[in-house]
A and B are shown apart, each in its own frame.
Chain A
Amino acid sequence: MNSFFTFINSSVGKKLLMSLTGLFLSLFLIVHLAGNLLVLRQDGGESFNTYAHFMGGNPLVRTLEIGLFLFIAVHIVNGVRIWWQNRKARGKRYDVYRLDENTTLPSRMMALSASLVLLFLVVHLRKFWVPARFEGEQNMAGLVVTTFQNGWYVLFYLIALVVLGYHLRHGFQSAFQTFGWKTKRYAGLIEFAAAFFWLVIPVLFACIPLYVYLTGGAAVASLR
């Protein structure tokens, strides 16, 4: 029997850590989306602001938030480690290497899509999370509206969501392969569930900036 340390540091263990943290972060997207869609309720931002206050004040949510950041950190550190070791494993590069003929695009660009998602995350946290937590912003719905009245922000968010979709296109089903559950029997079911994460969730997220931009956001929130 391996020690837990040996287990988690083995090639399979590292992948498991990646899958578990990745799936947790995918589940977080559901919670995040459910809350954010409150923006679309045309009540002047009341429900969304109430939700934002709850999230900011509830001790259980704040504790989970720490866990969330911890999972993001593990996912990043472990991912960089795997990427670096895999890069080293090749040694000398091929002069001609036609991965495009036998692999899918999302599977080849995981490190790139991950880096872009991280870049987005930094901007996203600075734009919404920091004002809510540290700068005492009360009217979060108003902040959403002022942000997405800017076309460049809308474009940035749309591109980020496409990239996130790409990352989840490979990542979500990949986790189940790593768990060893992606057998012939369940492959179809996993692909189906995966579509919710890589397609439905990003599309629904995209509705928010698009809606605000196209309608001007007057119904979404009252601006002080």
Chain B
Amino acid sequence: MKITLKVWRQKDQNDEGRFVEYTADHVSPDMSFLEMLDVVNIGLVKKGETPVAFDHDCREGICGSCGMMINGRAHGPGRGIATCQLHMRSFRDGDTIVIEPWRSNAFPVLKDLMVDRTSFDRIMQAGGYTSAKTGGVPDGNAILIPKPVADEAFDAAACIGCGACVAACPNSSAMLFVSAKVSQLALLPQGQAERTARVQRMIAQMDEEKFGSCSNTYACEAECPKQISVTHIARLNREFVASQF
């Protein structure tokens, strides 16, 4: 396959940034999207140019490091996948692919396709934890949690914090991310002690970071590599209202 890439290049945070076109020859349909970028980068290094910077780590869809806007879609076409799980067979020979970093004021671009997602970390630090000392591993049946509740909490816990929800949302809202974290702990007994303080602090921090607010377009759910459901956002809203009383 021969692919034309229009990649966002930006030297550092202060640089204006611009699109640069590259041609990727000999692309195998079996390559992952990141492998294709690796090959392009090897070519750039050989020519003495700076390779395209992008975040990546596990390359199997569980770390949440990779992520870029591919042809206007967070993590590219396809559902329930991170960029590393996207394969070149999703494209056709001769295609032009536009690659941009996540765009949000809360995710400033560091370099090329890498963005600073520490705003997510600060939201987590605001309340996405339980501070109770839980001691050793409890007996398997000591804390009874009904299976449907455990499943719901597990679905929320699947969030890898990649930021695709923010990138896909027309309002750059982080509601899906925050709702997954709040939901996970609100559903489980270990999360009860800090339940009201948690939702208030995490939402306050989310607003502090200047993320937008949800307008229920559900672009986040569509692009989430872990297919986190927007019913968690409904729960977040419910938790937030309940925390006021």
A224 at the interface (CB under 8 A from B): no
| Inter-subunit contact B231/A182 (CB<8 Å) | yes
A102 partner, pick from B168, B175, B239, beta carbons under 8 A? B168
Tell me, rounded to whole Å, the shortest Cβ–Cβ distance linking B84 to chain A: 20
Chain B neighbourhood of A174, CB < 8 A: 215-216
What are the residues of chain A within 8 A of B244 when measuring CB–CB?
Answer: 1-2, 7
Contact A12 B219 (CB under 8 A): no
Determine the distance from Cα of A174 to Cα of B171 in the docked complex, in whole angstroms: 15
- Segment with Cβ contacts to A, from B31-39, B48-56, B122-130, B203-211: B203-211
Interface string of B187-217 (1 = CB under 8 A from A): 0000000001000100110110011111111
Contact for B219 among A99, A179, A180, CB less than 8 A: A99
Q: Name the one of B6, B19, B168, B203 contacting A11, with C-beta atoms under 8 angstroms.
A: B203
Asked if B103 and A90 sit within 8 Å, CB to CB, the answer is yes
Chain A residues whose CB sits within 8 angstroms of the CB of B73 once the complex forms? 98, 101-102
Interfacial chain B residues near A25, Cβ < 8 Å: none
B44 within 8 A of A: no
A82 to B218, CA, bound (A): 17
- Cβ of B172 within 8 Å of any chain A Cβ, yes or no, is yes
Residue among A89, A91, A97, A183 facing the most chain B CB atoms (10 A cut-off):
A89
Does A10 lie at the interface of the complex (its beta carbon under 8 Å from any beta carbon of B)? yes
The number of chain B residues with a CB under 8 A from chain A is 51
Task: List the B side residues contacting A14 at CB < 8 Å.
Answer: 213
Interface of chain B residues 42 through 94 with chain A (CB within 8 A): 69, 71-73, 77
Q: What is the size, in residues, of chain A's interface with B at 8 Å between Cβ atoms? A: 42
Q: Mark A154-191, 1 if CB is under 8 A from B, else 0.
A: 00000000000000001000100111111110000000
Q: Contacting chain B: which of A27-35, A104-112, A116-124, A195-203?
A: A104-112
Say whether, besides A99-B170, A99-B219, A89 and B104 are in contact (CB < 8 Å): yes
The reply to whether the CB of A85 lies closer than 8 angstroms to some CB of chain B is yes
Give complex CA distance A14, B207 in Å: 11
Could you list 10 examples of A-B contacts with CB < 8 Å?
A: A1-B243, A1-B244, A11-B212, A90-B212, A91-B104, A94-B103, A101-B77, A102-B168, A177-B233, A178-B216
Residues of A within 8 A of B (CB): 1-2, 6-7, 10-12, 14-16, 82, 85-86, 88-99, 101-104, 107-108, 110, 170, 174, 177-184
If A10-B203, A102-B223 are given as contacts, then 14 extra A-B residue pairs at C-beta distance below 8 Å, sorted by A number, are A12-B203, A12-B241, A15-B213, A86-B173, A89-B104, A89-B171, A90-B104, A94-B72, A99-B72, A102-B168, A107-B215, A178-B237, A179-B241, A180-B238
